[in-house]
Amino acid sequence: ELLGEAIFEFSLPYMQRALAGEEVVFEQLLRQPDGALMPVEVNYIPQRNGSNIAGFYALARDISDRKRAELDHLTQTLNRRGFDMRLSMACATARRYLRPLTIIFVDLDHFKKVNDIHGHAVGDEVLRTIAQILCDQVRESDIVSRWGGEEFVILAPETPMAEAKRLSERLRMQLEVHQHPGVGQITASFGIAELAADQSDKAFINHADQALYAAKAAGRNRVESFDG
C-alpha cells in the first residue's frame, strides 16, 4: 500500500497515458519509511472493458541490484550495459512520438599521455572529475555514460541538433578551463548526431562516431555534428 501511494502521487502523466490505453513502463525513486531511496520499475497496464478503458493495473519491482550492475565503478556514471538499455528505450519513444533525440560523444584529447606521464591513479582521478563536470552541466533528463576508456557519451531526449550543439560547446569550454591538479588542462573532442525517424540505433551511434572522428581530424578540442 505504501509503495502504491508513493508511486501514484508522483506519476500523474504516466497514469493519464495508461488511462488513454497505453501500456507504460517507467522508473522512479521511492522513499522508504527509513528515508532511504529505492529505485523501482513501474508498469501500468490498461484494464479494458470492451472498447473502453476501465482503469489500469500497477506493477512495481525493486531494481536496486540492476541499477548497481549498470554503473561504471570508476566514474559512477552508467556503463555500456546501462546506456544501451536507455538508448533502446529513448530511440523507441522518439520514433513513436516523433520527438527530437540527440547523442553526443565526448573523447578526451591525448589522454594516453596522462597515464604515461602521471600514472593510472592520476588518470583515474581525471576521469572521475570530468565525469562529474559533465553530469553537473547536463539536464536531469540527460543520460551520461562512460562509453569506454577516456570516452563518454551523452543521450539528450527532447533535444534538437541546434540545442545539442550549444550544450556541447558549453561542455567543451567547461572542460577546457578546468585545471586538474598536477596535470593541468585536459580538452575533449565532441561529435553529435540527431536521430532520424527511420534510423536504427546502430546507425544513430555510427553517425555520432563519424562526427567525433571529424572533430579529432580537424584538430581536436572542437564540436562537430553529423549533418548528412
Catalytic residues, by residue number, are 150
Nearest Cα to Cα of residue 170 among 109, 106, 79: 106
DSSP H stretches of helix in 98-160? 112-118, 120-137
Are 62 and 40 in contact, with CB atoms under 8 Å apart? yes
The residue with cell 572533430 is 215
Question: What are all long-range contacts of 23-32, with beta carbons under 8 Å and residues at least 24 apart?
Answer: 27/63, 30/3, 30/6, 30/60, 31/6
Are 192 and 104 in contact, with CB atoms under 8 Å apart? yes
176: number of Cβ within 10 Å: 13
Are 98 and 157 in contact, with CB atoms under 8 Å apart? no
In angstroms, the Cα distances linking 66 to 71, 76, 135, 152 are 9, 14, 21, 21
Task: For residues 14 and 16, give the distance between their C-alpha atoms in angstroms, rounded to a whole number.
Answer: 5
